[in-house]
Amino acid sequence: MISMSLLAADDEPFEFVTEIGTEGYELRKVAQYMDGRLVCVDREHPRRAGVQLGSNRVPSWTELKADDDLHVEETSAEFFERRWKEGITGFIGQ
């Protein structure tokens, strides 16, 4: 899932690419900042540089899409893995 906060401040991540498990909880997440910086978190490292995995179940698509301050869309496993690998380096395209 990709979610974009339309109200993020310059020093906050504006985009999150999230892997959600079958139980509905976040497994891994990559946060992107406006300067291109990426921060990865997962079950082994649930908090890093101000980014953390959610502890609650991810809301339903209906609830997410009803939030006017958020843009959400489904993404492929391949896209997530590509972004995760970029996140390990810390920047897009590296």
pLDDT tens-digit readout, 13-54: 999 999 999 999 999 999 999 888 999 999 999 999 989 999
Tell me the backbone φ, ψ of residue 82, rounded to 5 degrees.
-65, -45
pTM score: 0.86
Question: Considering its fold, how many domains does the chain have in total?
Answer: 1
The domain in which residue 36 lies consists of 2-89
Interatomic CA distance for residues 9 and 19, integer angstroms: 24
Q: Is residue 94 part of a domain?
A: no
d(CA 14, CA 70): 10
68 in any annotated domain: yes
Q: Give Cα 36 to chain centroid, integer Å.
A: 14
